[in-house]
Amino acid sequence: MGEQVLLGVLAIVVGMLAGVALFVPFVSISYRRQGRLSVTRLLMWFAALVYFWAVWAYTLLPMPDPDAIHCVGMITDPMEMVRDVQKAIAAPGSTLTHPALLQLAFNVLLFVPLGFFVRVLFGRGIVTALLVGLGLSLFIETTQLTGVWGIYPCAYRFFDVGDLITNTSGALLGAVFGLVVPRARRGLTKAADAMQPRPVTRGRRALAMLCDGLGFLFASATVSIAAQLFIDLVLHDRATMREGSVAELAGTGGAAVVWLAVTLITGQSVGDAAVQLRYAGSPRPLIAARLLRWLGGVAGLSTIGLFGGVFDTLSGLLLLVACVLFFVTPLGRGLPGILSGQQLVDAREARSIQDASARPSRQ
């Protein structure tokens, strides 16, 4: 039981990390396809990520020591499953707690969420869910048959046709359960009013800040890891790699440059663009206003800290000020709005105004 709990915790942790990495793209796609972020759909996609890693963990882990494995064969007779159930019924004691019956039930239940997610999140039918369930189950069984595709000299878990049947049945059952979700809420369909302007709220601005923070953290960590690998594997400078300051500078600086380029070109930070917000209407020159908008965001304030010493302290204080200003300024306009002199507007509204002004007037 302890091992099963550990695998479940592993699936949740990995699913959360994947969710953080995919959060900004998910928010951006939601606003472009639905015009907003649905908390229910967000939780369902997070559950799907956790489920994916749970299937991987429970079917392939733990991977044993190659010297301690016992080679096993294949179970190709589907009636073997029926005979196991008959033995469970005939055995003394409670039939419901017999290992063979519990294993059969687990194999069905393990794939029920798969069929449900195929139906609800991707909007596919029962036949597609059945084929996806069969395909995933076949991939898992083949992975076990080949000793994890050659990592082990032989199979240490049975290739079982009965598992193919029960897994596929579970996916089919999950797709049927998915029918309880209204058709309008299934799939990746685009809402008819997705590009219509919506009210600018403090919550939406907070979501933009969260996207900027997570996106900047992920981008800087990615660049920093790449710099560490370059220093170690290409430059062969293990001391600099262990010290870490160069990689940290490269990570924060590289991400800041990306945020600066996006802001100067589009007038939006990555977070602004994800939730369809824009700062507009400044009396200052356009480039200056966009530069100040960048400076007041997470990328600009983090860049100040790169100079070290008193600037590191200043960066922390300004981040604190930015958080306070979010609560005391209208709609969470915050430090970027004060520095740039701009107001928050819906990007779709600003875009429609620009399109209207670009059309030739009719005389």
* Confidence band of 208 (pLDDT split at 50, 70, 90): very high
pLDDT: is 290 or 14 the higher one?
Answer: 290
DSSP state of 362: P
| Mean pLDDT, rounded, for 216-233 | 92
pLDDT: is 160 or 292 the higher one?
Answer: 292
Q: Cα(34)–Cα(190) distance, rounded to whole angstroms? A: 6
Question: Average per-residue pLDDT in the chain?
Answer: 86
pLDDT in tens, 251-274: 999 999 999 999 999 999 999 999
Write down the pLDDT at residue 353: 47
Write down the pLDDT at residue 4: 63
Q: Which two tokens stand for residue 278?
A: 């824009």
Q: Contact 170/134 with Cβ under 8 angstroms?
A: no
Give me the residue spans of the domains in the chain.
1-61, 70-190, 202-358
pLDDT: is 295 or 181 the higher one?
Answer: 295
* Confidence band of 3 (pLDDT split at 50, 70, 90): low
**The pTM is what?**
0.81
All residues at 6 or more sequence positions from 325 whose CB lies less than 8 Å from its CB, including other chains:
333, 334, 335, 338
Can you tell me which residue has the tokens 């972020």?
37
Range list of β-strands (E), the chain? 74-75, 159-160, 277-280, 343-346
Write down the pLDDT at residue 270: 95
pLDDT: is 219 or 149 the higher one?
Answer: 219
Residue 20 has pLDDT above 80, yes or no: yes
Question: Which amino acid is present at 87?
Answer: K
Q: In terms of Cα–Cα distance, which of 222, 214, 349 is closest to 277?
A: 349
Rg (CA), the chain: 27
At 75 the three-state DSSP class reads strand
The number of helix segments (H) and strand segments (E) in the chain equals 16, 4
What sign does the CA torsion over 118, 119, 120, 124 have? positive
At 240 the three-state DSSP class reads helix
Across 55-69, 219-233, 237-251, least confident range: 55-69
Q: Using N-to-C axis directions, what is the helix angle for 298-305 and 286-295, rounded to 10°?
A: 70
pLDDT: is 204 or 41 the higher one?
Answer: 204
Write down the pLDDT at residue 165: 92
Write down the pLDDT at residue 354: 47
Write down the pLDDT at residue 272: 95
Residue 84 has pLDDT above 80, yes or no: no
Write down the pLDDT at residue 352: 52
Enumerate long-range contacts of 230-239, CB under 8 Å, 24 or more apart.
none
* Confidence band of 77 (pLDDT split at 50, 70, 90): confident
Residue 64 has pLDDT above 90, yes or no: no
Can you tell me which residue has the tokens 């550990």?
6
pLDDT in tens, 142-173: 988 888 888 888 888 888 888 999 999 999 99
Query: Which ranges in 35-98 belong to alpha helices (H)?
Result: 39-60, 79-90
Write down the pLDDT at residue 134: 95
* Confidence band of 2 (pLDDT split at 50, 70, 90): low
pLDDT in tens, 92-148: 766 667 777 888 888 899 999 999 999 998 888 899 999 999 999 999 989 888 888
